[in-house]
């Protein structure tokens, strides 16, 4: 897959998860795995550059909390700008998806 669409897909998935509730990194990975029935299995470390980049764009904000086991956790929360960005990314993804379907449909089923 084109690298641009890979990045688009990852940040779109992250923003979609955060739209429902604030989460920390590992929680997002688990949610992605569970909801996609293990189809989306990222190299987990690569999630953080995506999250930090979204934070710099103002799409998410972060806050640190200490968990019950004493471990520091950084929770991410979507902002209103992030919600707008998600909408834009979803539209962009739809264009990509339609284009792929048209090509695939043309070759396989045309």
Partner 1 sequence: MFSLADERKDFLDTVEEQIAYRPLRKKLSQELEAHILDRMEDYQEQGLPPKEAEAAAVRAMGDPVLVGTELNAVHQLQKAPALMVLTLVLLLTGFAASAYMRWSPEQYANGFLYYIPGVLVLLLVSWKGYPLVIRHMRWLLPLAGALLLAGQIFSIRRWGVFWRIGYFRYFALLLSGPFLILLAYRLRRRGGKTVLMILALCGICILMPGFYGGGRDLPACAILLISVTGALALMIHRDIFGGDINARGRLYGITLAGLALAACLLGSTGHRRDLFQRFVDPDHNIDSTWDDTYNSALIRRLLSETPLAGGIELTPQELMDYGTGAWYFAERDPRQIGIYGIHSEEEEQEFEALVARIRESGGRPHYIYFNESDVTLWDILPQHYHNNYRIAICILLFGWLAGAVYLAVIGGFYLMMFGCIRKIQGKLAFSLASCCGICLLAEGVFYILGNFGYQYASFTNLPLISEGRISVIVNMTLLGFIFSAYRYDHVEAGTDPSFCQLSS
- Residues interacting with partner 1, by CB under 8 A? 24-26, 29-30, 42-46, 48-49, 52-53, 55-58, 62-66, 71-74, 79-80
Q: Which is nearer to partner 1, 63 or 99 (CB)?
A: 63
Determine the Cα–Cα distance for residues 6 and 59; give it in Å rounded to an integer: 18
Please give the torsion angle defined by the CA atoms of residues 15, 52, 23 and 70, in that order, rounded to the nearest 10 degrees: 180
Exposure on the CB side of residue 22, measured as CA atoms within 13 A: 12
1 versus 67: smaller Cβ distance to partner 1: 67
What's the closest the beta carbon of residue 106 comes to partner 1, in angstroms? Answer: 36
Cβ neighbours of 110 (radius 10 Å)? 8
Q: Pick the closer one to partner 1 by CB: 12 or 23.
A: 23
Please report how close the Cβ of residue 80 comes to partner 1 at its closest, in angstroms.
7
- Compute the least distance from the CB of residue 73 to partner 1, in Å: 6
Q: How far is the CB of 81 from partner 1 (least distance, A)?
A: 9
Question: Which residue, 26 or 90, is less far from partner 1 as judged by CB?
Answer: 26
Q: With both helix axes pointing from N to C terminus, report the angle between 25-35 and 3-20 in degrees, rounded to the nearest 10.
A: 100
Instruction: Quote helix, strand, coil % in the chain, to nearest 5.
Output: 65, 15, 20
């Amino acid at each position: 897959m084109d690298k641009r669409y890979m990045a688009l897909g990852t940040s779109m998935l992250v923003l979609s998860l955060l739209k429902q509730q604030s989460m920390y990194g590992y929680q997002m990975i688990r949610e992605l795995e569970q909801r996609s029935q293990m189809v989306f299995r990222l190299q987990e470390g690569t999630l953080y550059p995506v999250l930090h980049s979204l934070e710099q764009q103002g799409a998410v904000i972060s806050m640190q909390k200490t968990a019950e086991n004493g471990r520091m956790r950084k929770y991410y929360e979507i902002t209103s700008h992030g919600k707008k960005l998600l909408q834009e990314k979803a539209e962009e993804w739809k264009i990509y998806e339609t284009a792929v379907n048209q090509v695939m449909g043309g070759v396989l089923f045309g």
